[in-house]
Amino acid sequence: MTEKQEKLYWREWAAVRFACKRRALTEPDRHELHAKALGEDKSHKSLNNADFDRVLAEFRSWSQPENVSGQVRQIEQPRTRSLRKAGELMACLELYHPDPVGYVREIIRDKFNRGSSRQVSDITDLSSEPQIVTNRSTGEPREIPSQIDQLIMTLGRVVNGKDGYRARAKDSVHTMLTRAGLKCHCAQCSPRKKAAMMRMEQG
């Protein structure tokens, strides 16, 4: 959990306590809300981004019970972030591949439709929930990334891998992102990073 998330977490919990006091309700146990949101209790410091969004949505169901759309948006944040990242990789792929949409659909069909009862053909069809699979030799369950995140990892290798399109085109990350119309966070583009590098160079 980042420092910013930590502050937001406690701010949202304070809002729950205030709302309960205002409505003369019994204050819920914080960890019981974690368990309700996640299916198990977790320390707030061990929450990943998806967990964090679910816990915030649960807190807001107490502090803002009338704001259902806001709660739904919070729950959908992991999917929104993943779709945005996939869209950025698609924009980069478009620089190098003549049919990026067809190419990605081929990856999806090959990766997710084998032995699956649910046929998918587009990024928006993919699940954003982590999947539980069983190890064939041990019988132990394990969690693997969601379909969207698996696609993002594949596209990341295709675009940015050692033998990926960007490397073959001899483009820097900055050049690729700029050409794709995306925001670049390199030192050349970030005033804060640029200033830090200048301070380091000046000794």
Mean pLDDT of 192-202: 57
> How far, in whole angstroms, is CA 135 from its chain's centroid?
26
Mean pLDDT of 21-26: 85
User: What are 98-142's pLDDT values in tens digits?
Assistant: 999 899 988 988 888 765 555 677 787 888 778 777 888 888 888
pLDDT value at 198 more than 70: no
What pLDDT is attached to residue 165? 95
**CA within 13 Å, CB half, 87:** 10
Full-prediction pTM beyond 0.75? no
pLDDT value at 196 more than 60: no
Q: Report how far residue 69's alpha carbon sits from residue 160's, in angstroms, rounded to the nearest whole number.
A: 37
